[in-house]
Amino acid sequence: TQLLEQSPQFLSIQEGENLTVYCNSSSVFSSLQWYRQEPGEGPVLLVTVVTGGEVKKLKRLTFQFGDARKDSSLHITAAQPGDTGLYLCAGSWVKTSGSRLTFGEGTQLTVNP
């Protein structure tokens, strides 16, 4: 069974602080996505990373894929209340069928004004 561990599970910070969320597996990913989910809504795709060592930036969000493609991180700079939500990483492995995703448990982020 391919597992994807996400940490921390909960994070409550003040507006303006920085934070990092981690996503780890013992298996090599073929690709990894980060999603953000609001209550009662479906996950919204933020980014896809496919190359080991890859770094992608989306405004104040920085996504990094580990060199060995077994881990990833999401860093948010100067968090704002609008960043509040559930952040999910989802991996796809070489041996599984194309768009089948395995999700982590998620990180519930709360940014307080």
Q: Contact positions toward another protein, by CB under 8 A?
A: 6, 30-31, 33, 35, 40-45, 48, 88, 90, 92, 96-106
Whole-angstrom distance, CA of residue 12 vs CA of residue 32: 25
Whole-angstrom distance, CA of residue 9 vs CA of residue 106: 6
Q: Nearest approach, Cβ of 56 to another protein (angstroms)?
A: 13
Q: Nearest approach, Cβ of 13 to another protein (angstroms)?
A: 20
Q: State which residue, 10 or 78, has the beta carbon closest to another protein.
A: 10
Contact 46, 58 (CB under 8 A): yes
Q: Nearest approach, Cβ of 16 to another protein (angstroms)?
A: 28
Q: State which residue, 3 or 78, has the beta carbon closest to another protein.
A: 3
Residue 81, SS3 per DSSP: helix
Contact 81, 112 (CB under 8 A): yes
